[in-house]
Amino acid sequence: MDLKKQTQGLRRTVVAAVLGFTMLVPVASAAETLADALVGAYNNSGLLDQNRAVLRAADEDVGIAKAALKPVVQWTGSLSQNVNRSVSAGSTFVPAGTRTSTNSLSTTVNLIASLLVYDFGATRYAVEATKETVLATRESLVSVEQQILLRAVDAYMTVIQTRDIVALRENNVRLLIQELRAAR
Give the pLDDT confidence score for residue 141 in this predicted structure. 95
62 within 8 A of 134, measured Cβ to Cβ: yes
Closest CA to 140 of 47, 23, 1: 47
Distance of alpha carbon 11 from alpha carbon 5, whole angstroms: 10
Q: What is the pLDDT of residues 3-13, one digit of tens each?
A: 556 555 655 66
User: String of b and e for 114-135 (b: at least 16 CB within 10 Å)?
Assistant: eeeeeeeeebeebbeebbeebe
Distance of alpha carbon 8 from alpha carbon 28, whole angstroms: 33
Give the pLDDT confidence score for residue 100 in this predicted structure. 73
Give the pLDDT confidence score for residue 177 in this predicted structure. 94
Under 8 Å CB-to-CB from 34, ≥6 apart: which residues?
Answer: 153, 156
Give the pLDDT confidence score for residue 139 in this predicted structure. 96
Question: Consecutive sets of 10 residues in the chain, 184 residues long: mean pLDDT of each?
Answer: 56 56 46 86 92 95 91 90 73 63 86 89 93 96 95 94 96 94 90
Q: What is the pLDDT of residues 130-163, one digit of tens each?
A: 999 999 999 999 999 999 999 999 999 999 999 9
69 within 8 A of 114, measured Cβ to Cβ: no
88: left (phi over 0), alpha (psi -120 to 50) or beta: beta
